[in-house]
Structure 1
Amino acid sequence: MHQPDWKPNRSSQNPLHLQIYEYLKQKILNGEWTVGAKIPPQRILAQQLNVNRSTVVTALEDLAADGFISSKVGYGTFVANNTWSIISSGAAPDWKTYVESGVHESNQSIIQEINRSEFRPDIIRLGTGELSPKFLPTEKMKGIFQQNTAQELSLSYTEPKGSYSLRTAICDYLKRKGIETSPSSVLIVSGGLQALQLISLGLLQKGSVVFHESPSYVTSIHVFQSAGMNLFGVPMGEEGLKTELLPKIKRQHHAALLYTIPSFHNPTGHTMPEQRRKELLQVCSHERLPILEDDVYGDLWFEEPPPEPLKANDRQGLVLYMGSLSKTLGPGLRIGWLVGPEQVIDRLADIKMQTDYGSSTLSQFAAAHWLQSGLYDEHIFQLRKKLMFQRDTALQILEKYYRGIATWKTPAGGFYIWLKLQEAISMDKLFKRALKAGILINPGNIYDHKDSSHIRISYSYAEPAQLEKGLIRLAEIIGEMSSR
């Protein structure tokens, strides 16, 4: 059950416990909380509703007396009945069983907590993998829809692969990265996550093994697992994925695909050097192992651009290349792309039409304008400066407060610093203690469940003052936990 969007009215003549009673009762009567659903613990409800625990206890006792809820020691409090199930001629649907039997796996509980807490106004977001709203070109975006060129805008469906104008603009944009492709080999997707979903549904058999760098962002989501795939982590070294291990482990695990983030890797921030990229292509070509290259951070370099993408040197159609505007123009745009062999793109376009009938035409129109007009290049130039300042600020704070408790490397671009604690501690306890202190972090165990010594620090969202405040307090918490 999620954080409620309701709080009792302290200026009302009705006592707080009666307001809470009515609120919870309506959740049950409306079918939002179905029979068998677990009610949040008293302490959590009190925090969420900003009242004393005794007030919540009184409200729950009244609900129990009226037969709406029941408690079982050691298990919690559950919805026991509702008006619908009382008056209906048959039993109410057991939605709890439906929810638990759904095909798509639930997020890890810690990921769910992160997703909820990111919307708390009092939280310092040290782990958020998105741009600060201050870095998003909101006013320029408004201007695009107000210009005369907006007369070209259509609200109709686009063709299966997406707007031809946008796909052409993407082809021109990719040429500068060394990637030669045509609009027929480009599929517009609603962000990178949809590209992963389409690949899972359209190209991989159930039970297939997907290789990835370990640690990896892909382990923090359940896109592949929910489609019945198995993930296998390949260790990373100083120069990225250890390509020399691939032949042996491919024979052992019969992998169908390798997912990799060569530039400004999430979560480590590492960038794979040119020679390692060549080796990776050679090994995967020899092993006939297709590559899914995630390049969503590729434009966010600081001093110098990263080596060319793997796709730029792919002459066999080995690489599926994924890009997105979520990390540069804004996550709300929901525009990304997948580049690959035409037969693959045709297959995925067909599945996309079956699932959502095409990405937003408004977003596609705006994205095409950004890429064609030169606005995107201007924006990226300024954005790199801002992000580099944020990175340098974070590094200065780390240098001052984390020497002796952690080590790190300077990222050459992207959003992240991969902080390695010198003493392993419980990541779950650290996460909870930091959250209680108003600091939201991404602990390393969401990228590798065995990890008890890393934290992904993002410098892309929090303002410098918040970065300093949050990192100082986090250092104190780590010190307190390490000294026990």
Structure 2
Amino acid sequence: MWKPDRDSKKPLYEQIADHLEQRIAFGEFPPGSRLPSERRLAEQLGVNRSTVILAFGELRALGIIESRAGSGTRVSTSKWEAAPNHAPNWRRYAEGGGFLPNPPFMRKIRESLARHPELIDFASGELSADLAPTEEIAALMSEHRYASYLGYDNPQGYIPLRQALVSYLERHRGIRATESSILVTSGSQQSLFLITQCLLSPGDAVAIEDPSYCYSLPMFQSAGLRLFRLPVDECGIRPEDIRALYKKHRIKMVFTNPNYQNPTGTVLSPERRKQLFEVASELGLPIVEDDPFGLTSFEPNVPAPLKSFDANGSVLYIGSFSKIAASGLRIGWMVAPNAIVERLADARQQMDFGLSVIPQQVVAQFMESPYFMPHLERLRMQLQFKRDLLIDALRRELPGQVAFAVPRGGLHLWCKLLREVHDGKLLEEAIRAGVVFVPGGVYGSDSGFVRFTYARPCAEDIGTGIARFAEALREATARTPGGQTSPR
């Protein structure tokens, strides 16, 4: 993001005025569009509000912008008294369309992190840089020559990567697949997007977990799907609830994350896995299994995916490289019947003609290299270490104020706050204190739940981050003006 040069001889307000004029001239702010408020722009640029007021004054004097009470500051539709040309109403376009924006809380978190990268980040669901196999991948790239051909690749995915995934899935996840049954995607979200757009129709009813990461993805609502919830307890979803939803709403698909579920961290119990297959078989329902965290287990017995017990071909299995190595390589995969793979590969070709071949080559080499298993063991140890730091910090800073189950794998800790608090106010106070998290409402839960991602912050920042969160919680639940504490 552009910032004024404090070492320049040109005054800050003139630099800001010139910068805004250039953005207006380039069409970023068309005639009639509203500019950011003085307060927000001052915060973004790291200057006093009075400096922005002076910059706006310069542009107003030139006739470039105009301000009206109640409608903010807008780009002038006419200049030097010339008749205005009609420009598209871009605001109407931006607010239209069938694809919905991210939830407000998620947009606020991302905007805050972009403006203040120094925030301690318990919100982003990815690995920190120190957990990624950066040195190993650099070594592989120096040892191998990549991308002898830089044209479009197979829309189903780079064939050597699919061959490597066949071995990986059988060795580490107990899944028997062929290269023709695998579709390479840019990650779990693209897999879910393809499923919702290509295999379902507007008005279809689907079942998702409650709370669920799926609830935070507007792609389901954008596809016109009707969402029905499957409550998650300490043993996962209750398969009998699926039968009830099918009877009442004729659901067409079940979405589940059975291993270290996001956000709760629960693992679907063996008994309920058996019941889930029985119900799905009885009703002829497909199961979409999202399994990004299975190999992050902190215990010797890694939970097996549903797909490894799938005798009838009922499960569409989704995996990802992001949660076990590096999200920036953007590699995920889906195991599905050949007809489904061909259908989704055709859709992928319409979208982007397939992924870049270079990251696919890197991941194929890494999965079959001697670096992979040592990295995985180190990742598990470091994630468990960070989890324990987070739990110790919560018990130290918020004794008796939070409740949680200790996760046995995954990246997240799901907490219930034992004091009543407004999600929005708590997030505002946390950002002010220098820390971000995800309110539970993003995942469909009631107010008073939070998700902390312990994989993202550095180990040395975890204690400080929870201390800041505790401070924010105290501020958010402070005494009301009448002198009474907020009711529970």
TM, length-normalised to structure 2: 0.93
**1:380 counterpart residue number:** 376
Q: Which amino acid aligns with 1:159?
A: N
- Comparing 326-335 with 223-232, greater Cα deviation is found at 223-232
**TM-superposition CA deviations, 1:85-119 (whole Å, max 9, x none):** 9688x522222222222221111222112223334
Q: Does 2:102 match 1:91?
A: no
**TM-superposition CA deviations, 1:202-252 (whole Å, max 9, x none):** 111122222110111112121222222232222111211122211112222
Q: Which amino acid aligns with 2:319?
A: G
**1:259 counterpart residue number:** 255
**1:458 counterpart residue number:** 453
Contact 2:288 2:317 in 1 (8 A): yes
**2:485 counterpart residue number:** none
Give me the identity figure in percent.
39
Distance 1:343 1:70, change over 3 A: same
Contact 1:263 1:306 in 2 (8 A): no
* Partners of 1:122 and 1:49 in 2: CA distance: 15
* Partners of 2:257 and 2:439 in 1: CA distance: 19
Q: CA deviation at 1:328?
A: 1.4
| Aligned mate of 2:189, from 155, 180, 193 | 193
Q: Which amino acid aligns with 1:50?
A: G
Q: Which amino acid aligns with 2:346?
A: D
**2:405 counterpart residue number:** 409
**TM-superposition CA deviations, 1:178-218 (whole Å, max 9, x none):** 21111111000111111111112211112222211011111
**TM-superposition CA deviations, 1:264-322 (whole Å, max 9, x none):** 11111111122211111211221222111000111100023343111111112111000
**1:114 counterpart residue number:** 109
Matches within 5 A, 1:52-63: 52-63=48-59
* Partners of 2:368 and 2:331 in 1: CA distance: 15
**2:156 counterpart residue number:** 161
| Aligned mate of 1:37, from 33, 36, 40 | 33
Q: Does 2:326 match 1:330?
A: yes
Q: Which runs of 5+ in 2 are unaligned?
A: 480-488
Contact 1:29 1:83 in 2 (8 A): no
Q: Does 2:52 match 1:76?
A: no
Distance 1:82 1:352, change over 3 A: farther
Distance 1:22 1:200, change over 3 A: same
Matches within 5 A, 1:55-454: 55-81=51-77, 90-119=85-114, 120-147=116-143, 149-150=144-145, 153-176=148-171, 177-448=173-444, 451-454=446-449
Q: Which amino acid aligns with 1:410?
A: V
* Partners of 1:399 and 1:303 in 2: CA distance: 23
* Partners of 1:12 and 1:82 in 2: CA distance: 32
* Partners of 1:366 and 1:384 in 2: CA distance: 22
* Partners of 2:217 and 2:82 in 1: CA distance: 40
Q: CA deviation at 1:374?
A: 3.5
Distance 1:371 1:363, change over 3 A: same
Q: Which amino acid aligns with 1:161?
A: Q
What is the count of residue pairs matched by the alignment?
A: 477
Q: CA deviation at 1:373?
A: 2.0
Q: CA deviation at 1:158?
A: 2.3
Contact 2:235 2:266 in 1 (8 A): yes
Distance 1:54 1:386, change over 3 A: same
Q: CA deviation at 1:483?
A: 4.2
Contact 2:188 2:332 in 1 (8 A): yes
TM, length-normalised to structure 1: 0.94
Q: CA deviation at 1:402?
A: 1.9
Distance 1:82 1:408, change over 3 A: farther
Contact 1:397 1:468 in 2 (8 A): yes
Backbone CA RMSD of aligned residues: 2.0
Q: Which amino acid aligns with 1:114?
A: I
**2:7 counterpart residue number:** 11
